[in-house]
Structure 1
Amino acid sequence: MDRMNMDQATALTGKALNTLSLVSPWLAGEATYRLFRLPLKRAATRDEEKRLIGQAHIEKVRVAGETAVTYRWGSGERPVLLAHGWQSRGTCFARFVPGLLAAGYSPVAYDAPAHGDATGGTTHVLAFREVIGQLAEEHGEFEAIISHSVGVMASVLALRSGVSARRLVAISQVGEFTFLFDQFCGQLGLQPRLREELRQRIESRIFPGEKDIWQRFSTTYEPSGVTVPILVIHDEDDRMVGVDQARRMAEVFGDQARLVTTQGLGHRRILDDPGVIASTLDFVTAAQSGPAEASVAGR
């Protein structure tokens, strides 16, 4: 489905939900809540990713009642976690793996529930965090976590929850938890009453008993809880997640973070860019810190 048809389908879906909410707010809320947790598609596996899967040590772990798939390349020594985003899969980092292996690291990736080859139709960020936690129990401290999009948020939550890593790379990050909610509601054009129905379900069903989730589950909340050096990479032309998310993270973490911006790569193609991969590998293999902002031209 091309972008225009997808936008039309989204608009029609939102209109239908708003109309349903006039008749049955509860039923409309249930449908909207399911849609919020539903990746609309699974990322296709490119040929290079298929070859990489064939070379991986593959295992399965139970997460939130579903079966997630994990991948490891290398000997298992000096593990580096690759944390994918929404509607993606672990092998989206395929072009990072050869360089990590050549430098003596063991890349570790996963398909979260409802993604890649994992089971399930719906999921949420806490399931991502749970997969990371299980991999940390198996592999110990990560030399680095290289994360993308919602995977950045999940990685930060995992670090706050006791997962240990020496460095964090945040690419095309979704930093504010409210961004996910606002973007979803905005794309569908949800009316205020239906937005509130959805908000209440997120709070009571995904985060029961939790307080201040809209602040606490953002990457910039209480930065003292994440003490590792951070490389923040974001494209100026990212239409899915604005670069302001990255600038905010770099600002909040100060000297602990370094911001690299690109142009012309967008939200997902950035993971295939040689300059981005080189910057990431340099950061993983050598101590880097400081607030300086760099710019890498898109390729």
Structure 2
Amino acid sequence: MTAYGDDAAALFERYRTPAPPETTDGDRSLAAAAERRRVAVSPDGIEVESYLWRPETASERPPVLLVHGWASRATHLAGIVRALNRAGRACLGFDAPAHGESPGTATSMPQVIRSMRAVVAAHGPVDAVVGHSFGGMAAGLAFAERPEPGVPLSAGALALVAAPSRIDSMTLRFLRGEGLPDDRLAGLHRVLRDDFGYDAADFDLVRVADRLPARLLIAHDAGDPEMPIADAERLTAARPDAEFLRTERFGHLRILFAKPVLQALVRLIGS
């Protein structure tokens, strides 16, 4: 129990409990087209569902790892799967704990990072990583040993789509969605530190910017109502060598199907 009371602990529990993702016939069809495998995540004692989508004419290069966002699922990255498959690239995805077909009711970014590493260890090396929103930040942090120690991810390219660059952006998004004042952020970060042993300041892509792959794409929509484009801009300032793709009128979700973004991903990753 946190030293800051039941209220902060209960709020943090809501914070780490995702809403069930929407599942359409399209999601089910895309899942059925994949090679599926359950992957054990150590030391968590859980399993996550993984998906491998192979193109008709496959490249000999390793697959591209896809990491979905909060309250989402791997099949929500359908536009990216199809674009990369058309370019001859295999795609490896997984449902994060408590998401999609993976069991559980609550999860955290460290657990998603451990899951990501476990999926790669089970399937073999990946050539590139694409992460959306929460999944983008988790993907970036997985290349470093902070905040989650362990064997870092290794890949030649990384694309961050509509991703926050620091935990404050995600926490404020949650609080505003709950109709709560921004000053509750400090209490949630205290629970993170005292009950889970993590420093909120370590959940920051700028602090690990030098660990991210040399080929880096940062794509963000100017009018994203969920993740401010300022997050993408601050990471771009830390990595001026990155390709920064600013879009208009695609928001937080339609950006996943936006032609300029899909074209940039194919260019970044190659065939």
- TM-score, with length taken from structure 2: 0.87
Q: Distance in 1 between matches of 2:130 and 2:4?
A: 41
Q: Distance in 2 between matches of 1:225 and 1:259?
A: 18
Structure number with larger C-alpha Rg: 1
Q: Distance in 2 between matches of 1:278 and 1:32?
A: 40
Counterpart residue identity of residue 153, structure 2:
V
Match of 2:168 among 160, 167, 178: 178
Q: Distance in 2 between matches of 1:222 and 1:160?
A: 7
Deviations 1:37-96 (A, max 9, x none): 111x22212332221111111111233343311101127952100001101111111122
Q: Does 1:99 align with 2:79?
A: no
Q: Does 1:154 align with 2:138?
A: yes
Aligned to 2:192: 202
Aligned to 2:180: 189
Q: Distance in 1 between matches of 2:210 and 2:187?
A: 33
Aligned to 2:219: 233
List runs of 5+ in structure 2 lacking aligned partners: 146-151
Matches within 5 A, 1:54-203: 54-63=32-41, 64-74=44-54, 78-161=62-145, 162-187=152-177, 188-190=179-181, 192=183, 195-203=185-193
Aligned to 2:148: none
Match of 1:245 among 215, 225, 231: 231
Aligned to 1:14: none
Deviations 1:91-122 (A, max 9, x none): 11112223322333220001001111111111
Q: Distance in 2 between matches of 1:222 and 1:25?
A: 30
Q: Distance in 2 between matches of 1:231 and 1:143?
A: 14
Q: Distance in 1 between matches of 2:260 and 2:29?
A: 23
Question: SS of 1:234's equivalent?
Answer: strand
- TM-score, with length taken from structure 1: 0.79
Q: Distance in 2 between matches of 1:175 and 1:167?
A: 17
Question: SS of 1:169's equivalent?
Answer: strand
Aligned to 1:261: 246
Instruction: Compute the RMSD of aligned alpha carbons.
Output: 2.2
Deviations 1:150-189 (A, max 9, x none): 1111111111142101100100011111222233334432
Q: Percent identity between the aligned chains? A: 26
Verify the 8 A CA contact 1:129 1:158 in the aligned structure 2.
Answer: yes
Following TM superposition, the consecutive aligned residue runs of length 4 or more in structure 1 with deviations greater than 6 angstroms are none
Q: Distance in 1 between matches of 2:227 and 2:83?
A: 27
Q: How many residues align?
A: 256
Q: Distance in 2 between matches of 1:204 and 1:130?
A: 21
Aligned to 1:47: 25
Select the structure that is richer in helix.
1
Distance 1:112 1:222, change over 3 A: closer
List runs of 5+ in structure 1 lacking aligned partners: 1-23, 287-299
Q: Distance in 2 between matches of 1:108 and 1:269?
A: 21
Q: Distance in 1 between matches of 2:91 and 2:185?
A: 40
